[in-house]
């Protein structure tokens, strides 16, 4: 028999009442109860900063800088605020010195390391790890042309298929052949014996190498290109803040060209 136990004040403290197969009435939707606090699937593109080229005196030639690591995938995240770091490209190098490594970009717990700096007669390695791309082109020896930068990687995460993270071109011996061509945003050494060219901004590409003639003007190498972070999700799946917000192909896209905060609710 169903029964109810009450205390001295007449309040029910226990019962063996059974609802059988019936369930209590639904009290609104899950969203109403929890305020949309459920995981959200997002896609990301994270590119580390590019390495700078090397600057050397003739006959040693400077290799191009390597591209930053290029990472793209999807992940489920909880509604929260996330720090976004866009890695800086490495600064240009003075004559007779090697290039330096670009800075790491990070977001959503994922980090893309920067590209390596160029060296004398050698290019910088790309950022190591999964999906790393773009080795900097190596500068050849005296009387030779510089090598072209390594190829980058394409992504259409922002609605336009774009190649980024290319290696910087290597320099040529002063007074002789032209330098190597940067690829997919990598710096190009257009003039033998001239200044290096920087990698394109927000591509994570490497800067080109440079070479200076003995007793002549000192020519700095090319700086690395800054990194990039892009996050997208299906429009209507969430409400996000941070970066430059656009829409394309049913997606809401947040593009970070500088460091900031990505928030989602």
Residue closest to 204 by CA, chosen among 112, 120, 110: 112
Parent domain of 48? 38-265
**Residue 93 phi, psi dihedral angles, 5° rounding:** -105, 145
What pLDDT does residue 5 have?
52
In a domain, 18, yes or no: no
pTM score, whole prediction: 0.80
- Segment 249-253 shows an average pLDDT of 97
In a domain, 79, yes or no: yes
pLDDT tens-digit series, residues 84-141: 999 999 999 887 788 999 999 999 999 999 999 988 877 777 664 333 444 555 554 3
In a domain, 138, yes or no: yes
Residue closest to 211 by CA, chosen among 170, 150, 181: 170
In a domain, 25, yes or no: no
Residue closest to 169 by CA, chosen among 193, 138, 125, 141: 138
Residues 264 and 247: beta-carbon distance below 8 Å: no
In a domain, 86, yes or no: yes
User: Which value, to the nearest 10 degrees, does the dihedral of the CA atoms of residues 211, 92, 146, 176 take?
Assistant: -30
Domain count for the chain: 1
In a domain, 29, yes or no: no
**Residue 32 phi, psi dihedral angles, 5° rounding:** -65, -35
What pLDDT does residue 19 have?
38
pLDDT band at 186 (very low <50, low <70, confident <90, very high): confident
Distance (Å, rounded) from C-alpha 256 to C-alpha 243? 5
- Segment 153-160 shows an average pLDDT of 94
Selected residue with higher pLDDT from 247 and 175: 247
User: Between β-strands 210-212 and 55-57, what pairing exists: parallel, antiparallel or unpaired?
Assistant: parallel
**Residue 113 phi, psi dihedral angles, 5° rounding:** -75, 160
In a domain, 73, yes or no: yes
In a domain, 97, yes or no: yes
């Amino acid at each position: 028999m169903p029964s109810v136990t009450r205390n001295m004040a007449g309040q029910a403290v226990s019962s063996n009442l059974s609802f059988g197969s019936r369930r209590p009435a639904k009290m609104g939707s899950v969203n109403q109860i929890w305020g949309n606090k459920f995981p959200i699937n997002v896609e990301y593109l994270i590119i580390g900063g590019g390495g700078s080229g090397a600057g050397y005196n003739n006959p040693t030639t400077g290799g191009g800088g390597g591209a930053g690591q290029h990472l793209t995938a999807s992940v489920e995240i909880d509604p929260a605020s996330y720090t976004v770091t866009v890695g800086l490209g490495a600064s240009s190098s003075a004559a007779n010195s090697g290039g330096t490594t670009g800075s790491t970009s990070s977001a959503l717990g994922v980090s893309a390391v920067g590209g390596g700096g160029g060296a004398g007669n050698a290019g910088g390695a790309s950022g190591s790890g999964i999906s790393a791309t773009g080795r900097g082109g190596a500068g050849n020896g005296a009387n030779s042309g510089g090598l072209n930068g390594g190829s980058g990687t394409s992504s259409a995460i922002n609605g336009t298929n774009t190649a980024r993270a290319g290696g910087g071109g290597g320099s040529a011996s002063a007074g002789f052949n032209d330098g190597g061509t940067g690829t997919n945003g990598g710096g190009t050494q257009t003039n033998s014996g001239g200044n290096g060219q920087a990698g394109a901004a927000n591509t994570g590409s490497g800067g080109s190498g440079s070479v200076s003639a003995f007793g002549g003007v000192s020519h700095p190498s090319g700086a690395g290109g800054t990194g990039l972070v892009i996050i997208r999700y299906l429009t209507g799946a969430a409400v996000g803040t941070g970066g430059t917000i656009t829409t394309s192909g049913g997606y809401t896209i947040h593009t970070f060209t500088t460091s900031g905060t990505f928030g989602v609710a």
